[in-house]
Amino acid sequence: MPPLPFRIACWLCCVLVLAAVPRALAGQATSDGVGPPPGPRKAVGAEVGYSRSDLTGNDARQLKSRQGALTGVFLQMPLGGPLSLRPEVLFSLKGGRAQAPLDSTRTVPLEIELAYIEMPVLLRATIPGGRVRPTIFGGPAPSLQIGCDLQVVDPAQPDRATCGEADFTLFRDFDIGLVAGAGVEVRWPQSALALEARYNIGLRSLLNDFDVKNRAFGLVLALTF
C-alpha cells in the first residue's frame, strides 16, 4: 500500500472533484437541453483516476505491475479550431514488483513504489459535434520524484524502507515520458465532463546504472469548469 500521506492526498483530490461536479453542472442546460458553448475560452479543471504501472527496459526482468492513482489539476487553452493546449499538474503513483535475491538459495518479491509530481503538456484535438464529443491527445510529460519506498513482500521477513533509509540511491529524481490517449467528453455551455484513457511511457531510465523505465496505463475522469 502507498504511504499514508499519499493515500490521504489521493482521497482529498477525489472528494474535491466529486464535490465540484454537481456545482459545475448545475444550470448548464439550455432551454432545448443541448446548446453549444458561447465560444472558445480558457478553462480550469480537475481530474482523478486509476493507473496500472510497471517497469520496462533491457534490464527489467521478472517484473509485475502495480495499481496506483492519478489526481491533479489542469488549464485548458484554445488554440483555434478543434485544437487546444492543456498543461497539467498531477500527483502520480508508479513503480512495480521485481524479484530480489534474499540469500544464496531464494528470491522474494520486492515492491517498488514511486511517487511523482507529473507535469504533462498535452495537445488535444476534439472532434466538433453535439454535446458528446470524442477527443485525442498527446505530449511530453516531465515529472519530479517526491517519494520512493521499497517493501520486501515476504511473510517470514517483512521489511519496508524508503530508498534513502535503505541507502539505495540508484533512483533518479527526474523522469520524462510521452503521454498519448483518447476519450469522450460531455459538454455543457460552461463545463465539460470527460472519461479518458491514457498511456504513459518513460523515455529515461529511472535507475542510474540500469535500463529500467516507467510505464503506466490510466483511466481518468476530468471535469472542466
Cβ neighbours around 48 below 10 Å, total: 22
The helix/strand/coil state of 59 is coil
Confidence check: pLDDT of 106 > 70? no
Question: CA 84, 20, 145, 114 torsion: positive or negative?
Answer: negative
Domain that holds residue 164: 4-29+39-224
In a domain, 55, yes or no: yes
pTM (predicted TM-score): 0.76
| Total structural domains within the chain | 1
Q: What's the pLDDT tens digit per position in 170-187?
A: 788 999 999 999 999 999
* Residue 154: band (very low, low, confident or very high) from pLDDT cuts 50, 70, 90: low
The Cβ-side half-sphere exposure at 199, using a 13 Å CA radius, reads 5
- Measured CA to CA, the distance from residue 78 to residue 26 in angstroms comes to 24
pLDDT band with cut points at 50, 70 and 90 for residue 169: low
pLDDT at 211: 86
Q: Which CATH number do you get for residue 150?
A: 2.40.160.20
DSSP SS3 for 69: strand
Residues written for the chain: 225
- Evaluate whether residue 34 is within a structural domain: no
Domain annotation covers residue 93 = yes
Residue 119 lies in a domain: yes
| Integer Cα distance of 162 and 185 in angstroms | 40
Cell 484554445 -> residue: 78
Give a yes or no: residue 216 inside a domain: yes
